[in-house]
Amino acid sequence: MVNLTRVVFNELRSPKGLYKDLLRKCDLLPKSAGKFYKQSVRKEFEQHRDEKDTERVDQIVERAVKDMDWILKKYT
């Protein structure tokens, strides 16, 4: 079970896995807010798509997770 948890954790922390997860979480929001945040997620993903510095990628991922948690709490 620990290995499965680690795999899921690592998948969500990869940029592509995180992108998919964030878009799915936008579906949990009210329709207008979900649409707005999906556009925001796409824009941010495109903006940072070519980022090569792993430390910077980790910072971006960490911030995206924190922001989505805040947004979900705001609407629930």
Q: Is the pLDDT of residue 31 over 50?
A: yes
The band of 7, judged by pLDDT with boundaries at 50, 70 and 90, is: very low
Identify which has the larger pLDDT, 36 or 16: 36
pTM value surpassing 0.85: no
Mean pLDDT of the chain: 83
| Long-range residue pairs from 15-19, CB within 8 A, at least 24 positions apart, any chain | 15/45, 15/48, 15/57, 15/60, 15/61, 18/61, 18/64, 18/65, 19/45
Kindly state the tokens that stand for 32. Answer: 């207008």
- pLDDT higher than threshold 90 for residue 47: yes
